[in-house]
C-alpha cells in the first residue's frame, strides 16, 4: 500500500532522496566496453552484440535494409500506422514552431559603433538516437527524439536499436526520415556512436533513453560527444486539491509505476479525504492491471502521498522533488502551474494526463529525471542547435579598446595575447 505521510515529517526524506544515477557498481564494466569498442572497432562491437543481445551482427547486416522496412510496414496494422502518423503531425508541428526563434542576429558594437557583433545558429550535422529494444521497446521514443532533430534541420539522423522485435520501431524510423538504423544496442552502441567504428560513423550528439548500462555509457562518453541528458527511472508527481477525481489521480500515478520497480509515483495534496481515497483506488486498480507485481513494488519502495496544509506547501514539495512529469489537478490549475519552477513537463487540468504527453500532444517525452529538472530541460529543438558568436571589429574600434585588452592580457601573463593587439597599434 502506498503510504500517506505528513508534510514536514522525517518521512519526507524518502520523497526528496532520489538521486540521478545510483549504479556506480556497473561503471567499471561500462568503461571496459567503451575502451574495447574504441580500440577494436567493429570486432568488439559485434562480439558484444553476440554476448549481450544474442545477435549475429556483422558488417554486412548491421544496417536495416529497405526490404526489412517494407516487411515491417506489411506486418503492422494500418490503423496503428495512421495513429502513429497523427502523433507525428502533432510532434513535428510543435517543434517546428520552436525553430522560429533561431534567427541570426547582428548589431552595432565597439566604442565607435562601427563594428558588428552577433550570433549565428546552426543545427548539428549528425546525431545518433538510441531506441531501447530489451524488456520494452518504444516506437514513440523514435518520434519524440527524431522529430525535434528534423525540425532543427539536422543533416543526418541515425538510430541504434538492438533486437528489433517490434516492427513499429522500423515504421516509426521510416516515417521520420531516418535512413540508417544500426542493429546494435547497449553500452557498445553508445561507444560506437561516440567514437565510430569501421561500420558506424561517429555522431555529434547521442539522444534517447536506455537501461543503466546505456545511461552510464552516455555519461562516460560525454565531452567527446554531446548527450541529451543522463536520465534515471521514470517519475510522476500529482498536485491535487479536493476538486480532483481520486479515481483519475490514482490511474495517473499507476501509469508511471508500471514502468519498473524504481519508478516513483507521488501525490501531493491538501485534502485528507482525497489522500485516503487515492490510497484505496491505487490498491483497487493495481489488482486488475497486468503489471501488478512491478506496480506494487514501485509504490511500496518509491511511492508516497504527501498531505499538506495548503497549496504553498504543496508547491514547495513539488519544486524540491523537481519531477519528470508533474500533473496539476486543482481548481485553479493554470495559476498553480505558473507558480511552479522545477519540472520536466507540466500537465495542467484533469484532462491532461501524463500519457497524453507520452504519445500525442506534441512536446517530447524525453525529460529530465531524479531532480535534474532543477537545472536541465526537456529534449527539444534546442538540444540539436548550437550558437556561434560573431565578432567583426574595424580598426578604430579595436584601437579604442587596445590598451584595456593589453593590460588585462599582461596581468594574466599572456604576453602573446597582448602582442597581437600591440602589433595592430603600429
Distance, in Å, from the CA atom of 300 to the CA atom of 140, rounded to the nearest integer, reads 28
- Nearest CA among 191, 232, 225, 197 for reference residue 211: 232
**Residue 335: partners with Cβ closer than 8 Å, 6 or more residues away:** none
Q: Where are the alpha helices (DSSP H) in 353-426?
A: 354-359, 395-411, 415-425
Which uninterrupted H or E stretch holds 81?
helix 78-99
User: Is 85 within 8 Å of 359 (Cβ atoms)?
Assistant: no
CA distances from 396 to 73, 111, 115, 193, 207 (A): 65, 8, 9, 47, 46
Which uninterrupted H or E stretch holds 150?
helix 139-152
Distance, in Å, from the CA atom of 327 to the CA atom of 356, rounded to the nearest integer, reads 11
Catalytic residue among 175, 235, 259, 325: 325
Distance, in Å, from the CA atom of 361 to the CA atom of 274, rounded to the nearest integer, reads 28
- Nearest CA among 211, 207, 217, 285 for reference residue 253: 285
Distance, in Å, from the CA atom of 275 to the CA atom of 265, rounded to the nearest integer, reads 13
Is residue 325 annotated as a catalytic residue, yes or no?
Answer: yes
Distance, in Å, from the CA atom of 261 to the CA atom of 294, rounded to the nearest integer, reads 5
Q: Assign 122 to helix, strand or coil.
A: strand
Distance, in Å, from the CA atom of 400 to the CA atom of 360, rounded to the nearest integer, reads 56
Catalytic residue among 175, 235, 296, 324: 324
User: Which grid coordinates are listed for 2?
Assistant: 502506498
Is the Cα dihedral 72, 77, 82, 85 positive or negative? negative
Distance, in Å, from the CA atom of 309 to the CA atom of 240, rounded to the nearest integer, reads 12
User: φ and ψ at 45, to 5 degrees?
Assistant: -60, -45
Query: What are the residue numbers of the active site?
Result: 324-325
Amino acid at each position: 500500500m502506498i503510504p500517506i505521510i505528513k508534510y514536514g515529517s522525517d518521512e519526507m526524506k524518502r520523497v526528496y532522496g532520489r538521486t540521478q544515477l545510483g549504479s556506480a557498481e556497473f561503471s567499471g564494466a561500462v568503461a571496459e566496453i567503451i575502451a574495447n569498442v574504441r580500440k577494436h572497432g567493429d570486432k568488439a562491437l559485434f562480439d558484444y552484440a553476440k554476448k549481450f543481445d544474442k545477435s549475429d551482427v556483422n558488417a554486412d547486416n548491421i544496417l536495416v535494409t529497405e526490404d526489412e522496412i517494407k516487411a515491417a510496414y506489411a506486418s503492422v496494422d494500418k490503423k496503428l500506422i495512421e495513429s502513429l502518423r497523427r502523433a507525428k503531425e502533432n510532434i513535428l508541428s510543435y517543434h517546428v514552431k520552436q525553430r522560429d526563434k533561431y534567427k541570426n542576429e547582428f548589431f552595432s558594437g565597439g566604442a565607435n559603433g562601427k563594428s558588428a557583433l552577433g550570433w549565428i545558429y546552426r543545427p548539428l550535422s549528425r546525431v545518433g538516437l538510441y531506441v531501447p529494444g530489451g524488456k520494452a521497446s518504444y516506437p514513440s521514443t523514435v518520434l519524440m527524439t527524431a522529430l525535434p532533430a528534423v525540425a532543427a534541420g539536422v543533416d543526418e539522423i541515425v538510430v541504434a536499436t538492438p533486437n528489433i522485435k517490434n516492427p513499429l520501431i522500423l515504421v516509426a524510423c521510416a516515417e521520420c526520415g531516418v535512413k540508417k538504423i544500426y542493429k546494435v544496442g547497449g553500452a557498445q552502441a553508445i561507444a560506437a556512436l561516440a567514437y565510430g567504428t569501421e561500420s558506424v560513423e561517429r555522431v555529434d550528439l547521442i539522444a534517447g533513453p536506455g537501461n543503466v548500462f546505456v545511461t552510464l555509457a552516455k555519461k562516460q562518453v560525454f565531452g567527446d560527444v554531446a548527450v541529451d541528458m543522463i536520465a534515471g527511472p521514470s517519475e510522476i508527481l500529482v498536485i491535487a486539491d479536493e476538486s480532483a477525481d481520486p479515481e483519475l489521480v490514482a490511474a495517473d500515478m499507476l501509469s508511471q509505476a508500471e514502468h519498473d520497480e524504481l519508478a516513483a509515483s507521488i501525490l501531493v495534496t491538501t485534502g485528507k479525504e482525497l489522500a485516503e481515497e487515492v490510497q484505496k483506488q491505487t490498491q483497487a486498480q493495481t489488482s486488475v492491471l497486468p503489471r501488478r507485481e512491478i506496480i506494487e513494488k514501485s509504490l511500496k519502495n518509491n511511492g508516497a502521498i504527501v498531505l499538506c496544509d495548503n497549496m504553498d506547501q504543496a508547491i514547495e514539495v513539488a519544486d524540491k522533488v523537481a519531477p519528470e512529469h508533474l500533473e496539476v489537478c486543482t481548481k485553479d490549475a493554470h495559476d498553480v502551474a505558473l507558480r511552479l519552477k522545477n519540472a520536466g513537463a507540466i500537465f495542467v487540468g484533469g484532462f491532461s494526463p501524463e500519457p497524453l504527453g507520452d504519445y500525442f500532444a506534441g512536446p517530447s517525452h524525453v525529460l529530465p529525471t531524479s531532480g535534474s529538472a532543477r537545472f536541465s530541460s526537456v529534449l527539444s529543438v534546442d538540444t540539436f542547435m548550437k550558437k556561434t558568436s560573431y565578432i567583426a571589429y574595424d580598426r578604430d574600434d579595436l584601437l579604442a579598446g587596445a590598451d584595456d585588452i593589453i593590460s588585462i592580457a599582461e596581468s594574466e601573463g599572456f604576453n602573446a595575447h597582448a602582442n597581437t593587439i600591440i602589433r595592430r597599434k603600429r
